[in-house]
Amino acid sequence: MTPVFPSSVDTAELIAAVDLGSNSFHLVIARIVDGALQLLHREKQKVQLADGLDEQQILSDEAMQRGLQVLAQFADTLAVVPHDCVRVIATYTLRRAKNRADFLARAASIFPYPIEVIPGQEEARFIYQGVAHFEQFSGQRLVIDIGGGSTEFAIGQHFQPLRLASRNMGCVSFAKLYFAKGRISAKRFERALVHAEQETEAIVNSYKDTGWQQVVGTSGTIKTIFDIIVASGWHTHAIELPHLLKLKQQLLTVEACEELQMPGLTEDRKHLIAPGLAILIAAFQMLGIEQMVYVDAALREGVLFEMSERLQHHDIRAHTIDSLKKRYVVDDAQANRVAHTCRFLHSLVASAWQLDDEWAELLSFAANVYEIGLQINSASVQRHSAYILNNTNLPGFNQEQQRTLSALVRFHRRKIKPDDIPELYLYNRRDFIYALVLFRLAVLLNQKRRDDVLPELTLTASTDLLVVSIPSEWYQQHAVLAADLRSENMYLKKLGVQLQLDGLPDDATED
């Protein structure tokens, strides 16, 4: 049912974040008031998507159907929010599912919002941002979030994350592995604990070296453990290792989750408390945590805060690109030339090819990093640059944006194999091809790395044709570029686009 907002709320001011987690789906609606967020509405539905993921990483039809039913409900709630102000994030289960394209295709028919599948480190970054914006702390803090399929760890100070990690251990996946059908035993608990310790071991040294002055836990599993501790009278504001070990002993007095009777433990959490507790004990013991406080903010709040920043023209992605440029000593002047040309070419064909502003941003980002591979080798720079982009954590970019950025850079010059273009589900393949045509043209026109070479030109676009009109005098002065443009037509034909060069004389010669 669509929420009823106060009459003072202008629905045009609303923004919304949807978190498609491995255990539950969450929806939060807020508005920006004087630069700050005001939360207006929340919804949570238990889906246990991770429970439908088999050993071959195939998501079951039953799990998909549970998710689709909730998305249909969310679609009704979100009807009052401007379409462009809704951001939907999917995490571990859809990140891992080999058949996620099936789920996304089915979701598209009932849920009219793009679903972004994000990398684990990006998930950790959103969680950290949610905590950092929710509750101020001057020192460095460690944030831990135990989800249905993965557990995220982040260390940061103020709004700046310093360490981000995502480990493949979650309360739903561990319940399936070690506590099937709700069975509990000391041996099952020990196996889960050892597995969690093995998963945590990879980050122990780097996290201890970075250090922290506060530890924060977020989301459902840690909230449940905290609620039990408070309701039991063991502590009023924090979680400590003795509390967790005492809780473990209570768990082991029963043989099935259904038998658990603890203050603060709700029915829907009985099957998840044992695996969640094993993961949290492992984190405490491996990282040497003494005390953890619970904060009621996580990924969805982080997404909301970032949306509000972007709407106020502070895009984390721009900062990420600037950091890459500095790390790989990119030629700023050349990057700016190509970026400027990309934006100009996009403006000429945006209407005919229906390329929205998101493509203009992606093209500009690509222009700024297409040469980062020069640090490896100038030969096959497009391959080196694409490899770096594919295998680097890019805060602010979801998985598909990262894949798209890498593919634009990978095919910015030389031959193109259409079969090598990655499968896309957020972006239309035809739109990607159009954007790639513009990017290749922008790079080609700026290959002399000079400000005085770019000609006056116009573009006319139709479905499979791009007409480039350049004064014939320019071609006569730049015979090499003229020849490259002729060759480019041969390359683009493989993508189903013909490049028509108006003004190109047959006898173009270099001065």
Where is pLDDT greater, at 511 or 495? 495
Classify residue 163: in a domain, yes or no: yes
Classify residue 36: in a domain, yes or no: yes
- Percent pLDDT > 90 in the chain is 73
Classify residue 291: in a domain, yes or no: yes
**Same-domain pairing of 295 and 360:** no
Strand-pairing partners, residue 294, are: 217
Residue 505's pLDDT band (cuts 50, 70, 90): confident
Look up residue 325 and give its two tokens. Answer: 């440029």
Could you report the per-residue pLDDT of 47-103, keeping only the tens digit for each? Answer: 999 999 999 999 999 999 999 999 999 999 999 999 989 999 999 999 999 999 999
**Same-domain pairing of 176 and 84:** no
**Same-domain pairing of 138 and 287:** yes
Q: Tokens 């047959």 identify what position?
A: 506
Phi, psi (rounded to 5 degrees) for 317: -65, -35
**Same-domain pairing of 384 and 417:** yes
The C-alpha atoms of residue 282 and residue 288 are separated, in whole angstroms, by 10
Residue 476's pLDDT band (cuts 50, 70, 90): confident
Supply the pLDDT for residue 511: 40
* pTM reported for the whole predicted model: 0.78
**Same-domain pairing of 141 and 286:** yes
Report, as an integer, the average pLDDT of 278-288: 98
Number of domains in the chain: 3
pLDDT for residue 112 is more than 90? yes
The whole-angstrom distance between residue 262's C-alpha and the CA centroid of its chain comes to 37
The C-alpha atoms of residue 31 and residue 10 are separated, in whole angstroms, by 9
Supply the pLDDT for residue 142: 98
**Same-domain pairing of 384 and 343:** yes
Report, as an integer, the average pLDDT of 467-480: 90
Neighbours of 413 (CB within 10 A): 19
Domain boundary among 302, 334, 350: 302
pLDDT for residue 454 is more than 70? yes
Supply the pLDDT for residue 308: 85
- Average pLDDT, rounded, for the chain: 91
Report, as an integer, the average pLDDT of 335-347: 96
Supply the pLDDT for residue 400: 87
**Same-domain pairing of 277 and 333:** no
Classify residue 105: in a domain, yes or no: yes
The C-alpha atoms of residue 334 and residue 125 are separated, in whole angstroms, by 31
Classify residue 495: in a domain, yes or no: no
Domain boundary among 251, 276, 302: 302
Handedness of CA 86, 91, 95, 98 (dihedral sign): negative
Supply the pLDDT for residue 313: 62
Look up residue 308 and give its two tokens. Answer: 């509000």
**Same-domain pairing of 166 and 286:** yes
Supply the pLDDT for residue 422: 85
Q: Any idea what DSSP says for residue 456?
A: P
Q: Which long-range contacts (CB under 8 A, 24 or more apart) does 401-408 make?
A: 401/116, 401/317, 401/362, 401/426, 402/119, 404/362, 404/432, 405/362, 405/365, 405/366, 405/369, 407/432, 407/436, 408/362, 408/363, 408/366, 408/370, 408/432, 408/435, 408/436, 408/439
Could you report the per-residue pLDDT of 408-449, keeping only the tens digit for each? Answer: 999 998 888 888 888 887 888 999 999 999 999 999 999 999
CATH of the domain at 209: 3.30.420.150
The C-alpha atoms of residue 401 and residue 186 are separated, in whole angstroms, by 45
Do 455 and 341 touch, CB atoms closer than 8 A?
A: no
Could you report the per-residue pLDDT of 286-321, keeping only the tens digit for each? Answer: 999 999 999 988 899 999 988 888 776 667 888 889
**Domain interval for residue 403:** 315-449
**Same-domain pairing of 192 and 66:** no
Report, as an integer, the average pLDDT of 196-224: 96
Strand-pairing partners, residue 148, are: none
**Same-domain pairing of 192 and 80:** no
Closest CA to 363 of 348, 383, 381, 380: 348
Supply the pLDDT for residue 73: 96
Residue 9's pLDDT band (cuts 50, 70, 90): low
The C-alpha atoms of residue 474 and residue 456 are separated, in whole angstroms, by 9
Supply the pLDDT for residue 424: 82
Task: For the sheet with 239-240, list strands across it.
Answer: 160-167, 151-157, 140-146, 214-218, 291-294, 239-240
CATH of the domain at 326: 1.10.3210.10
CATH of the domain at 83: 3.30.420.40
The C-alpha atoms of residue 447 and residue 459 are separated, in whole angstroms, by 19
pLDDT for residue 137 is more than 90? no
Look up residue 195 and give its two tokens. Answer: 């597995």
Supply the pLDDT for residue 509: 42
The C-alpha atoms of residue 401 and residue 315 are separated, in whole angstroms, by 14
Do 14 and 84 touch, CB atoms closer than 8 A?
A: no
Do 508 and 477 touch, CB atoms closer than 8 A?
A: no
Give the angle 225-231-237 at the CA atoms, nearest 5°: 70
Closest CA to 127 of 40, 209, 222: 222
Residue 351's pLDDT band (cuts 50, 70, 90): very high
The C-alpha atoms of residue 151 and residue 473 are separated, in whole angstroms, by 62
Classify residue 365: in a domain, yes or no: yes
Classify residue 175: in a domain, yes or no: yes
* Local structure of 295: helix, strand or coil: coil
Residue 3's pLDDT band (cuts 50, 70, 90): low
Classify residue 465: in a domain, yes or no: no
Do 304 and 28 touch, CB atoms closer than 8 A?
A: yes
**Same-domain pairing of 252 and 358:** no
Domain boundary among 432, 449, 466: 449
Phi, psi (rounded to 5 degrees) for 121: -65, -35
Supply the pLDDT for residue 453: 85
**Same-domain pairing of 280 and 225:** yes
| Distance (Å) of CA 28 to CA 57, 206, 214, 284 | 29, 34, 27, 30
